[in-house]
Chain A
Amino acid sequence: MSDTAPESDTIVSVQGLHVSYGRVQAVRDISFDVPAGAVVTLVGANGAGKTTVLNAVAGLVKPRAGTVLYRGRDVTRWPAHKLVAAGMVLVPEGRQILGTLTVAENLQLGGWRRRKASAAAIDEMYERFPVLAERRNLRAGSLSGGEQQMLAIARAMVARPQVILMDEPSMGLAPKMVDEIFGVIETVRSSGVTVVLVEQNARRALRAADTGYVLETGTLAHSGPAARLLKDPRVVQAYLGVE
């Protein structure tokens, strides 16, 4: 199955990705590899195209050119629901929890594809996030921002993914909550799930990641081991434009 993979341990490989909205080119020629079990982060200022890349990988937008390989298979034109079934799940920007449904129903929807197995997975999530267990019968919209983000991640984990794509999980959260979310990301990773993380909070993201890619206005500006990027003044420049 994985005989066409560029590297045996590469689980997601993006090659020459171009995405346009109408005539507007949002992403130009982006390539990167995600090793299985790693945390890879895409950082960059607002409008740099990070979310677009993630949406293209998750099958929500169709790229104009380029390929996305998942476990060696070309999944570029796959619809989102098929990718979820194959084990690649997106935690979208702004969380997108279903506010009028209960916490429990949100989690059940995460296991929509495998109804039988999901009960166990949901119990596991309640164990890992006791706050969700407490509120399981409340409408998800009544949770705080941080709890909603936990729900969104837990909901994705119910599908027992191999790769989880996270879009700005710390957005709009208070610093304390941000810490907690990054703790969650750490446990996700330690359970063997590969994480692709898109973040504006570059320092935190690079600290949590193995490899980092810096996006600037739709193109790849820098890449390398996260620890090195963390010290690279050019990264700061990509954000603030000052040294």
Chain B
Amino acid sequence: MFAGYESLITTMALTGILAFSFHVVLMAGQLSLGQAGFASLGAYISTLVVPETPLFGGLSPVLVGIPVGMAVGATAAFVLGLPVMRLRGVFLAIATIAFAEVVRILMLNAEWTNGARGLRLERWVTPELAWFVLAILVYAFWRLGPSRIGRAFAAVREDEVAASSMGVDVARTRMTSFVASGAIAGLYGVLFAYFVRRIGPSDFGFSMMLDGLVVAVVGGFLVFFGPLLGSAFITMVPEVQRAAGLEAGWIHPFVTGALLLVVILLLPGGLSSIAGYLHGRLRRSPPPAPSTGPRAGNEPPELPELPAADTPVLTLNGVGKDYGGVHAVHDVDLELRAGEILGVIGPNGAGKTTLVNMISGHVAPTSGDGHVLGRKLGAAGGAHRVARAGVSRTFQHSKLFDRLSVLENTLVGTHLVSKPTFVRRLLWLPSARRDENRAVSQARRQVQRVGLADREHVPAAQLSYGDQRRLEIARALASHPSLLILDEPAAGMNRVEAAELSELIRSLAADGVTIMLIEHNVHMVLDTCTRVVVLNFGEVIASGPPQVVASDPQVIEAYLGSDETGREHV
């Protein structure tokens, strides 16, 4: 049925598989371009160790080679990843390109690869096999998207700092995508070798990298079927041109380049953004609506107890932070007990955000010591460990995952209270569905709590400012925190919105969440908090019940500026 087109059809599938090895790293925001090296290693090593004739009478070498190639690719990626995963952006890109080049040169000079003359192999890859493998990948990526690890990929891509404060282990997530990319590239290498029948080291060169990257980006890396579309596009363009009689040698690359340019300039999300547009809501199949009756799996996950009222949650002893001689925060003592709503106010540049960053583990203090929920401030391990201890926060400059919907943003927040589901989702195990439903219902509860229930499928970037702040709170709440730190949640809200927010915060405290509220809207802080601390020039200048603090002349001065010219601060 494929008469005359076997080669084209197989190539299309193989190109799609190559593109998936780029897709999986781009999904997690990593510009990793060493796939040709993994493919080369996978292809060469598997053809070296797998006999050329069918095993056990019928098992074709490619079927034996696939797991070998994947294992080789994954191992190589892991070993390479140990040092290079510290790099980001173009530095990661160039390091991985260099790796692929080194592999190419090594293969060129090794004896067992037969050097530049290459290896001859039998063709064992049929169009059916290639498409079967591609179908499995498409299926896997379809199941990956809405799983816990899939959401972690998206979170790391959109904002690493925010992801880590949701408890996502950023380093591990990046490595996972890198190793998966190696495995898929190894798989591609094996299929490619048994398809083209003759492989040489230069087949796995810079242009293979460009092909894979171009197809992945043109297809779109935000949607699971992107590589499929990209591959169809890139493979069909020359065919269409041939059919149209445009065969002059240069026309083909010129038109391909021009089309590529048009796609990239006009369709930021790649070709799949058209498909997404056409399918509208079908694209992101919304998770099942909460059923009205109590059904297994629709209750939220089992959540740990919050600390009992009045137990210490946070203690700071003389904590300070210097930036090159500038005291951003200086000698701050603070104690916070469960059930309190502590307001932290102070003018711009008073050191409020630095203080929060130290507590949430994003910045290490340079002096003093402190504990938050049993964890020492500045201890090794990164912000996700602090999140795991029960600290959740919002950011002064909203760090939402812009391209994700309200519900998806909040689902990332459930990372710490939900279970990994990807493998079980692949197998359609009911328990995966149950766990997903639990995560969804936990997320949905938070979305309802902040009053965004009617907007749960709207991308975060399209929300109004006030709604964005609310969504940040919902996302922070989803991890069931013991301590919730809100960094200027009311900025840009009008009085009515701020009053609603104030009410929400008090209701959270009534539920047992300890709250630290950093805010410029002093009125709201006074209305909301049980205790207020005032910072100025990195130091605590006043502390106590709201009304006492509000009438403190030093506080008024800090806010409105000094009355007398030249009066020094104490």
Contact = CB atoms under 8 A, between A and B. Distances in A.
- Do A and B share a complex? yes
Interface of A: 21-26, 45-47, 168, 170-172, 174-176, 178-179, 200-205, 217-218, 236, 239-242
A175 B464 CA distance: 37
Contacts of A200: 347-348
A235 B522 CA distance: 14
A171 B561 contact: no
A175 B569 contact: yes
B348 A172 contact: yes
A193 B118 CA distance: 76
Given A25-B465, A204-B561, 4 more contacts: A24-B468, A25-B464, A201-B561, A241-B524
Given A46-B348, A200-B348, A241 B561 contact: no
B568 A175 contact: yes
A241 B462 contact: no
B461 interface: yes
Contact of A201 (B462, B465, B488, B560): B560
B491 A47 contact: yes
**Could you tell me the dominant secondary structure of chain B's interface residues?**
loop
B495 to A, nearest CB: 8
B395 to A, nearest CB: 14
A236 B520 CA distance: 14
B560 A203 contact: yes
Contact of B568 (A46, A47, A168, A176): A176
B565 interface: yes
Contacts of B461: 22
Given A217-B494, A240-B556, A175 B562 contact: yes
A50 B263 CA distance: 40
Interface in B539-570: 550-551, 556, 559-563, 565-569
Interface string B328-368: 00000000000000000001110000000000000000000
Contacts, number: 82
Given A178-B561, A217-B494, A240 B520 contact: no
B273 interface: no
A198 to B, nearest CB: 12
Interface in B500-553: 520-524, 526, 537, 550-551
Contacts of B492: 24, 26, 47, 217-218
A217 B491 CA distance: 9
20 contacts: A22-B461, A23-B462, A24-B464, A24-B468, A25-B465, A46-B491, A171-B348, A171-B349, A175-B562, A178-B562, A203-B563, A217-B495, A239-B522, A239-B560, A240-B556, A240-B559, A240-B560, A241-B523, A242-B526, A242-B550
Given A22-B462, A46-B491, A217-B492, A202 B561 contact: yes
B493 interface: yes
Contacts of A241: 521-524, 526
A241 B562 CA distance: 18
B559 A239 contact: yes
B463 interface: yes
Interface string B430-468: 000000000000000000000000000000011111001
Nearest to A199: B561
Contacts of A24: 464-465, 468, 492
B522 A240 contact: yes
B566 A240 contact: no
Nearest to B491: A47
B211 to A, nearest CB: 35
Contacts of A205: 561
A22 B458 CA distance: 14
Contacts of B561: 170, 178, 201-205
A78 to B, nearest CB: 27
